[in-house]
């Protein structure tokens, strides 16, 4: 799904993800500030495809984590620490759909 792919892009490289974790950055807030236009455009375009809208509404940390495990094991490894898990638990991916 395109929303999940955008989240992977926002996580960046392992070093960037480590910075997010160490600085306790709220990923949703970061995306709103940095990629608002792009994300809003994608959500607007996907509004004509009900399956994308419904998929976005049901976005969970578990789904993103599974995607990380498969597509970005380097990022998945970064999360596999106590500090990483604590940061991950604070993220609320359901808010991605409410960006606009």
Tokens representing residue 31 in the block: 């995306």
| pTM, rounded to two decimals | 0.75
Distance of CA 76 to the CA centre of its chain: 13
Nearest alpha-carbon partner for 75 in 23, 10, 24? 10
Q: Distance (Å, rounded) from C-alpha 29 to C-alpha 94?
A: 12
Are the C-beta atoms of residues 93 and 29 closer than 8 Å to each other?
no
Kindly report, residue by residue over 19-71, the tens digit of the pLDDT: 999 999 998 888 777 766 666 666 666 667 666 666 666 678 888 899 899 99
Q: Is the pLDDT of residue 18 over 60?
A: yes
Collect all residues with Cβ–Cβ distance below 8 Å to 67 and sequence separation of at least 6.
Answer: 4, 8
């Amino acid at each position: 799904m395109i929303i999940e792919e955008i989240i992977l892009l926002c996580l960046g490289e392992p070093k960037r993800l480590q910075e997010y974790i160490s600085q306790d950055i709220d990923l949703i807030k970061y995306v709103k500030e940095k990629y608002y236009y792009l994300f809003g455009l994608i959500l607007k375009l996907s509004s004509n495809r009900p399956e994308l809208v419904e998929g976005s509404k049901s976005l969970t940390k578990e789904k993103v984590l599974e995607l990380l495990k498969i597509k970005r094991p380097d990022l998945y490894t970064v999360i596999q620490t106590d500090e990483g898990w604590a940061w991950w638990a604070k993220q609320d991916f359901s808010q991605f759909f409410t960006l606009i």
